[in-house]
Amino acid sequence: MKLEFRLFEHLGKYLIMLRRMFSKPVRWEMYWKELFRQMTDIGVGSAFIVFLVSIFIGAVTAVQTAYQLYGTPFVPASYIGLIVRNTIIFELAPTFTALILAGKVGSNLASELGSMRVTEQIDALESMGVNTESYLIATRIIGAIITIPLLVAIASFAGISGGYIATALGDTYSIEDYIRGIRMDFDPFDVQLMFIKSFAFAFIISSISCYMGYYVKGGSVEIGKASTQAVVYSCIFVLLADYVIVALLL
């Protein structure tokens, strides 16, 4: 009974936080400045690690696919490119990128807001009449929704390019076969599904992380726990949303 009460308590506070963040800003220039700062921190600060990881993921996917299909005369070599493309676009680019950002961006958002709460900076802003949900949370969520889909697009390009690099370095199949497989039976809806996932994942990661940090109580130990919980819960709900989106749209 106590566990159910806590779940409903957190859900209620989470929904109230989301509702209050849509209030009209008092000074738009202050909000725009904070929004661009968050976009820079989330997008530019994560672009390199997402690009690097995605290249190796694409390369490993291509090598492992070639290994599985090696010596199978009934499967054309061009299917390697097809499998790499679909695997990257459908799953690895959006989901793997979201899990990476849950660890990097999610923990950062939770610890940043948690530090502001513990040091009473949020209370000071509220005493000056600033709607902190709108100023601190909406800017972070909107910044994530704008930048994370762009990072997913970078991840898909890097993953497919990683498969191309692995093809060029290996001798199991030719580059022409790989490119032919990438172009084979392409459906634009695949890319649309990738971006639908990325928008949903961006909202999940940013909103959960902001909630965990905004309502933290205590000191540095509680901030660390909130950051860890933000990463764990973000990963769980990202995977859950991944299944729900695929089940509904496919």
CATH label of the domain that carries residue 196: 1.10.357
Q: What is residue 71's predicted lDDT score, i.e. its pLDDT?
A: 65
Rounded to whole angstroms, the Cα distance separating 225 from 223 reads: 5
Q: Which residues contact 9 (CB under 8 A, 6 or more apart)?
A: none
In a domain, 122, yes or no: yes
In a domain, 220, yes or no: yes
Provide φ and ψ at 77, rounded to 5°: -65, -25
Domain that holds residue 220: 33-54+94-159+186-249
Report the number of distinct structural domains present in the chain: 1
CA contacts within 13 A on the Cβ side of 170: 21
Q: What is residue 237's predicted lDDT score, i.e. its pLDDT?
A: 95
In a domain, 171, yes or no: no
Q: What is residue 248's predicted lDDT score, i.e. its pLDDT?
A: 92
In a domain, 204, yes or no: yes
In a domain, 75, yes or no: no
Q: What is residue 3's predicted lDDT score, i.e. its pLDDT?
A: 46
Q: What is residue 2's predicted lDDT score, i.e. its pLDDT?
A: 46
Rounded to whole angstroms, the Cα distance separating 174 from 189 reads: 28
In a domain, 81, yes or no: no
Provide φ and ψ at 35, rounded to 5°: -65, -45
Q: What is residue 57's predicted lDDT score, i.e. its pLDDT?
A: 93
Rounded to whole angstroms, the Cα distance separating 36 from 16 reads: 25
Q: pLDDT of the chain along its 250 residues, tens only?
A: 444 557 778 888 888 888 888 877 777 888 889 899 999 999 888 899 999 999 999 999 988 888 887 767 777 778 888 899 999 998 899 999 999 999 999 999 999 999 998 888 888 888 887 888 888 899 999 999 999 999 999 999 999 999 999 888 877 778 888 888 888 888 889 899 999 999 999 999 999 999 999 998 888 888 889 999 999 999 999 999 999 999 998 7
Q: Which residues contact 26 (CB under 8 A, 6 or more apart)?
A: 129, 130, 131
In a domain, 223, yes or no: yes
In a domain, 136, yes or no: yes
Rounded to whole angstroms, the Cα distance separating 21 from 138 reads: 5
Q: What is residue 150's predicted lDDT score, i.e. its pLDDT?
A: 95
Q: What is residue 74's predicted lDDT score, i.e. its pLDDT?
A: 74
